[in-house]
Structure 1
Amino acid sequence: MNIKQNIHPENNYGEEQIQVLEGLEAVRKRPGMYIGTTSMRGLHHLVYEIVDNSIDEALEGKCDKITVTLNPDNSVSVQDNGRGIPSGIHPKAGIPTVEVVFTILHAGGKFGGGGYKISGGLHGVGAAVVNALSEWMEIVNCHDGMKYTERFERGVVARPLTCEGKTAEQGLYVRFKPDPEIFDEIIFDYTTILHRLREQAFLNAGLTLELVDQRIIPAETEIVSDEEIEAAEEEDRDLMQKEKEEQFVSLCYEGGIRSFVEFLNGKKHATVLHEPVIYLSTEKG
């Protein structure tokens, strides 16, 4: 094709054609730039981002338990027993700090300001992106002996941050429902999330990760039979049994990488060459 033939003089390109997307509009306009895809992989990435924020608390030694719950309304909640998020007015943004974390990109304690020494998440992008791509999000933030709640809808504050009073609890509770306007599918897969949590449990020795499935199984769903479990490959058998009989699983591996190798060895049919597992670890600094 001749490029000159493709020129249309009537198509004006001026200042008014340059769009400026404010706040989280850019995330909703181009979600693939932030989570890669709006398929099932991108859907589950939302869960991973919130969980990773809680894991950052664990890496700081401030959290030892994270619970992920699949709710009947297809929302997901992630709760940890970490420090929560400061809720005072942010000196630069002029709004509550916890609101900054969930509504402004690149906001968090992971940029070298002393909030976190080490981090495994997206450095403050995760929480705001999840909020932007959710139909709604609710948070319960317990920090410094006080409980705060707030609700967002498609990334916008729907119910302002409210102090509910004193509390002996600590940590952050985040519940969100993916936006069907954004995602091709909004039904989370239990097994996919379980695999991810198991990986994180191996990588973070001593951290307890729980997965709770409270969803009602539709009538047309085929329940896995005992015969199918017996016929399955050995490495899938335990997982299928859990899916059939349990709505709750708790993962904690004190041995970390050693536990991971032992887990792999347990799935093999051959004799293990080195038992026990040889593993060395040290702390930096």
Structure 2
Amino acid sequence: MIAALHGRKQTMPDITDKITQEYDASQIQVLEGLEAVRKRPGMYIGSTSSSGLHHLVYEIVDNSIDEALAGYCSHIELTIEPGDIICVSDNGRGIPVDIQPQTGKSALEVVFTVLHAGGKFGGGGYKVSGGLHGVGASVVNALSEWLEVNVHKNGKIYQMKFSRGDITQPMTVVGETDHTGTTVRFKPDPIMFEDTVYDYETLHVRM
């Protein structure tokens, strides 16, 4: 399944005067550590049934939509790959890769390993959509058998890999690029969910 968002920037109201700050690690605020997600997943995604499974996708897609609403992203692509693997790609600014001051770690690592870490919570970066209630990419990471993220930023491709929330490959430069954006691929953990088969219509309606 492929769903694409084209020209979203043209349909959005002119809010460039509201969001002018650079999107870097200083805009990522840490509000709470990532704890007990695998032990009590229902607290974070509602349930481990089909609704919780699909909620994982919404969390990642909503991050891309935030970039679109802020005027920095015009294309979002969601793909269901064989084996119930989800791939979400956008042409936004790319998740920050510099050091996040509060933790001393790369912002990319913080976003995927710390609960409720994101630019939506502070006054900088972006704070546009209604996604404040979201649990964040870290919960998706914690509840995935594996997750990998590639960030195109600063002329380089940065990659990190995880397994059930643990880092298996630290942030590594794996290539060069002439554009910006973020691609997240993950496989939900069958240990955590009653079923890991995604429903096309459920995702299509939500998109």
TM > 0.5 = yes
Amino acid at match of 1:82: G
- Which of 36, 44, 52 in structure 2 is aligned with 1:26? 36
Q: Which has the larger radius of gyration?
A: 1
Aligned match of 1:40: 50
Shift of 1:123: 5.9
Shift of 1:125: 2.9
Secondary structure, counterpart of 2:136 in structure 1: helix
- Which of 94, 116, 121 in structure 1 is aligned with 2:104? 94
Amino acid at match of 2:96: P
Q: 1:142 to 1:120 in 2, by over 3 A?
A: farther
Q: Deviations over 1:235-274 (max 9, x none)?
A: xxxxxxxxxxxxxxxxxxxxxxxxxxxxxxxxxxxxxxxx
Give the conservation status (yes or no) of the 8 Å contact 1:105–1:124. no
Shift of 1:24: 3.5
Q: Deviations over 1:80-130 (max 9, x none)?
A: 000001101222211111110010012111122311141232467320110
Give the conservation status (yes or no) of the 8 Å contact 2:41–2:47. yes
Aligned match of 1:119: 129
How many Å separate the matches in 2 of 1:165 and 1:184?
38
Amino acid at match of 1:28: R
- Which of 53, 56, 70 in structure 1 is aligned with 2:63? 53
- Which of 139, 143, 151 in structure 1 is aligned with 2:153? 143
Aligned match of 2:92: 82
Would you say 1:106 and 2:136 are equivalent positions? no
The unaligned stretches of length 5 or more in structure 2 are 1-31
Scaled by the length of structure 1, the TM-score of the pair is: 0.59
How many Å separate the matches in 1 of 2:133 and 2:105?
20
Aligned match of 1:66: 76
Give the conservation status (yes or no) of the 8 Å contact 2:144–2:187. yes
Give the conservation status (yes or no) of the 8 Å contact 1:52–1:120. no
Please state which structure has a larger fraction of its residues in strand: 2
- Which of 168, 184, 203 in structure 1 is aligned with 2:194? 184
Please state which structure has a larger fraction of its residues in helix: 1
Identity within the alignment, %: 62
State the aligned residue count. Answer: 176
How many Å separate the matches in 1 of 2:129 and 2:156?
25
Q: Deviations over 1:167-194 (max 9, x none)?
A: 1121100000000111000010111111
CA RMSD across the alignment: 1.6
